[in-house]
Structure 1
Amino acid sequence: MSEKSTETKIQEAQTAALEIAQLSDDERSAALESIADAIDARHDEILKANETDVREAEKLLEAGEYSQALVDRLKLSDAKLESITEMVRSVATQEDPLGKTQTARKLDENLELYKSTVPIGVIGTIFESRPDALVQIAALSLKSGNAVILKGGSEASQSNRVLFDIIQDATSDMPNGWSQLIEARADVDTLLEMDDSIDLVMPRGSSEFVSYIQDNTSIPVLGHTEGVCHVYVDDAADLSMATDIAYDAKVQYPAVCNAVETLLVHDTVAEQFLPMIADRYETAGVEMRGDDRVRDIIDTDVATEEDWSTEYGDLVVSIKVVDSMESALDHITTYGSKHTDSIVTDDSERASIFMRSLDSASVFHNASTRFSDGYRFGLGAEVGISTGKTHARGPVGLEGLTTYQYYLEGDGQVVGTYAGSDAKPFLHEDFDGTWNPGSLSE
């Protein structure tokens, strides 16, 4: 049998989207448990495929075509697969995001308007390097009643195929075509042109990659172009806490978009704090790049203008000494990407000003930027992180994959009754109610 075209796969997903939206939460959650069980049972198969991907990636790393960060994101292990199944089960136990009545309004007696959550429809996702992203995205799409088109990077092709096959096998009783895998670069161009069939595109990858997606489609795009995250150490900071936070934000997993890239330090505490964090960074093999004031205190490479706006995705950090919190805010506003920024301070009033002065999707007080994550936020997982302001922002979980519909329950009313010189007035009274078909008759 010949491989289906991308157009056919997307058409099948459209049909499936209407069917999967009608399934109960119990049915969707049971399918997710089946996916988790299947992944648990097939570790060896997944890891064998992943080893093939990693070997090829390491060859390209040696040739200078891939970064170490990309190879690190690509690798799977038994522990990583266990965390993936834990994530799937976590999504399964989340509250059903569908059918929630957001508002109920009585327009008139026996004329009631309800605003209720529904799936978006067909989600197109394009992601690089991390094969666990395929499972995250599929799980969230299924739980939220959406059909999904999955396009992973060629560097993870073997891993993605096995994981997709496992998902397909585990959800054979779900609507046919609810998840689709596309692989060729040309398939992406086809997907981006199908604005009448795809309801939302969510890219995950480098800033250049996401910008390309945004520039080449009229489909709404939800994502972020860069993760230039900051930690600001205030002059009222607990320096031991600040050291732990700055270390975790950079070292715990440097390849991801919520890792810190620039550390800002108040001048008053710089001489005491910088040697403390430098010792920790050096032990972990972090390359430090500092401005002149930093280099007067500790030994680092020179930070250039380009460093302040660079997402390293690796064990590299730029460091700058600032004269005030206002200077830190100016720096973040100038060079940041509106992803995640954090202040370390014991001054709650100053923290409040800092947090309300930034336009970032997530702003933290006395916490590592690495907490900017769907699983850690209690969303089950995330499809991606959005730095835009419309529809969804920050880690995008189940709620971000829903929209709403208006349902009007009437009893034979016509607009003419409410128009003209003798028009009957509307009540427009909000009430505490939940929409159910035919609710007026109950």
Structure 2
Amino acid sequence: MTASQTAVPPLIEIARQTRQAARHLAVLPTEARNRAIEGIAEALEAATPDILAANAADCQAAQAEGINPALYARLKLDENKLRAAIAGVRDVGRLADPIGAVQIQRELDIGLILKRITCPLGVLGIIFEARPDAVIQISSLAIKSGNAVILKGGREALRSCETLVQTIHQGLDQAGIDPAVVQLLTTREETLALLKLDHYVDLIIPRGSNSFVRFVQDNTRIPVLGHADGLCHLYVDAAANLDQAVAIAVDAKTQYPAACNAIETLLVHRAIAPTFLPQVATALQAQNVTLRGDDLTCRILNIAAATETDWATEYSDLLLSIKVVESLEAAIDHIHTYGSRHTEAIVTEDVATAATFLAQVDAAGVYHNCSTRFADGFRYGFGAEVGISTQKMPPRGPVGLEGLVTYKYQLVGQGQIAATYTGPEAKPFTHRDL
């Protein structure tokens, strides 16, 4: 075999193969796609030692390069995280098939029947940071929804992603599914080229910073589903249960500080600040959280002063900014000024105040008396997610299966022509829902 015969095909050929594989996947019955998902889960279980070894090598190399703690936390794939990801694959397999659902069935006239039916998008291009477990989540969701996927992970996770995709290919092959439905790119140059493949890729989902998402949007004609910063807030109202508020604040900041749904700013009503701030500060500092505050907060707590930059920063680490506000309206104004429309929460026992917050705060997720950490596809019962969309157009929030399908109109007649329904003697439509 010559070198040219063994060379990796150029990206456009990979895209063609992926598009062709997507067409076959889209028409497979539910049982076939579910078998593929179970095959992936079994292959991942069998390859667990290899996956963890590849990830350990990535982590070691990343530490040697001085990776920041937040990115390292996302990169690290230990046995518990891998086990949870495999459980998520099987959860996706148990979900209802999103393809082929009849959303509208309407008689336009006798013998002329219109249906609107859900169908796959086609080929997804997913560009994400150093998060190897995203490979597992995205691949299972794509296959369940009948879509093929081209993945591009962060360079820090290269070994992990390559091992995971090889393992997924084994599971697909054993289930009789073309492995080309899941592809992996490995270089920055391929990322830029992917953005030009508007004839082959139907949706790009970038997962990273606001600047990165904007870069992708500015450099492609492919529709983009943006997943940018997670700058989340918790507002503790004057009518809050303070013990509850402390527990929620600690969980929302420390349960997994690198997550995009962890809070970065704590807003506290002035009426309770002298009582609440010492309580919450003690609890947070016991979890090694570094606090920064506005002038009023610093008069109560011996902490560093927050700057304007702090209010606009997603720390993704054990750092938290605190601001005392005069009212609910001031809290909402702050959230609208600095928030990223990801997830926002209020703690209060006042039902009217909570209702105002839930109605007026513009975010994909708005919570009352619970942690922002619930903003997650798995916790919503989606099985997994391809990301959390912070845009206003749907899909919004955690994007699971329902965000990866579109629909088509099917019209079946018996020789009808449009001219029959126009002009002075036009036949009327029945427009009867069936």
Q: Which TM-score bucket, shorter chain as reference?
A: over 0.9
| Alignment partners' CA distance in 2, 1:310 and 1:394 | 20
Residues 125 and 202, structure 1, Cα contact 8 Å, conserved in 2: yes
| Alignment partners' CA distance in 2, 1:292 and 1:315 | 21
Equivalent residues in 2 for 1:196-211 (5 A)?
196-211=199-214
Equivalent AA in structure 1 for residue 71 of structure 2: L
Find out whether 1:120 has 2:125 as its counterpart.
Answer: no
Residues 119 and 144, structure 1, Cα contact 8 Å, conserved in 2: yes
Give the match's secondary structure for 2:130: coil
Q: Which residue of 1 aligns with 2:257?
A: 254
User: When the two structures are aligned, how many residues end up with a matched partner?
Assistant: 427
Find out whether 1:15 has 2:16 as its counterpart.
Answer: no
Find out whether 1:164 has 2:161 as its counterpart.
Answer: no
| Alignment partners' CA distance in 1, 2:118 and 2:422 | 31
| Alignment partners' CA distance in 1, 2:19 and 2:47 | 30
Find out whether 1:57 has 2:58 as its counterpart.
Answer: no
- How far the C-alpha of 1:101 sits from its partner, in A, is 0.9
Find out whether 1:342 has 2:320 as its counterpart.
Answer: no
* TM-score in terms of structure 1 length: 0.95
Q: Any stretches of 5+ residues in structure 1 without a counterpart?
A: 432-442
Equivalent AA in structure 1 for residue 342 of structure 2: H
Give the match's secondary structure for 2:65: helix
Deviations 1:282-323 (A, max 9, x none): 111111110010111112111101111111111111100001
Q: Which residue of 2 aligns with 1:292?
A: 295
- After TM superposition, which residue ranges in structure 1, 4 or more long, deviate above 3 angstroms? none
Q: Which residue of 2 aligns with 1:307?
A: 310
Residues 149 and 181, structure 1, Cα contact 8 Å, conserved in 2: yes
Give the match's secondary structure for 1:30: helix
| Alignment partners' CA distance in 2, 1:272 and 1:227 | 29
Give the match's secondary structure for 1:177: helix
| Alignment partners' CA distance in 1, 2:392 and 2:410 | 26
| Alignment partners' CA distance in 1, 2:389 and 2:36 | 27
Q: Which residue of 1 aligns with 2:275?
A: 272
- How far the C-alpha of 1:183 sits from its partner, in A, is 0.6
Give the match's secondary structure for 1:284: coil
Q: Report percent identity of matched pairs.
A: 49
Residues 19 and 122, structure 2, Cα contact 8 Å, conserved in 1: yes
| Alignment partners' CA distance in 1, 2:276 and 2:231 | 22
| Alignment partners' CA distance in 2, 1:224 and 1:147 | 20
Residues 172 and 179, structure 2, Cα contact 8 Å, conserved in 1: no
Find out whether 1:367 has 2:377 as its counterpart.
Answer: no
Q: Any stretches of 5+ residues in structure 2 without a counterpart?
A: 1-5
| Alignment partners' CA distance in 2, 1:413 and 1:428 | 15
Q: Which residue of 1 aligns with 2:31?
A: 26
- How far the C-alpha of 1:112 sits from its partner, in A, is 1.1
Give the match's secondary structure for 2:151: strand
Residues 12 and 176, structure 1, Cα contact 8 Å, conserved in 2: no
| Alignment partners' CA distance in 2, 1:133 and 1:385 | 12
| Alignment partners' CA distance in 1, 2:418 and 2:210 | 50
- State the Cα RMSD in Å: 0.9
- How far the C-alpha of 1:430 sits from its partner, in A, is 2.0
Given candidates 320, 323, 328, the residue that maps to 2:326 is: 323
More moved, 243-252 vs 210-219:
210-219
Q: Which residue of 1 aligns with 2:3?
A: none
Deviations 1:308-347 (A, max 9, x none): 1111111111100001100000000111111100011111
Q: Which residue of 2 aligns with 1:436?
A: none
Give the match's secondary structure for 2:221: coil
| Alignment partners' CA distance in 1, 2:194 and 2:88 | 28
Q: Which residue of 1 aligns with 2:84?
A: 83
Deviations 1:169-189 (A, max 9, x none): 100111351111111100011
Find out whether 1:232 has 2:235 as its counterpart.
Answer: yes
| Alignment partners' CA distance in 1, 2:140 and 2:379 | 16
Residues 204 and 225, structure 2, Cα contact 8 Å, conserved in 1: yes
- How far the C-alpha of 1:87 sits from its partner, in A, is 0.6
- How far the C-alpha of 1:165 sits from its partner, in A, is 0.2
Residues 274 and 297, structure 1, Cα contact 8 Å, conserved in 2: yes
Give the direction of change, closer, same or farther, for the CA distance of 1:428–1:92 in structure 2 (3 Å limit): same
Find out whether 1:154 has 2:155 as its counterpart.
Answer: yes
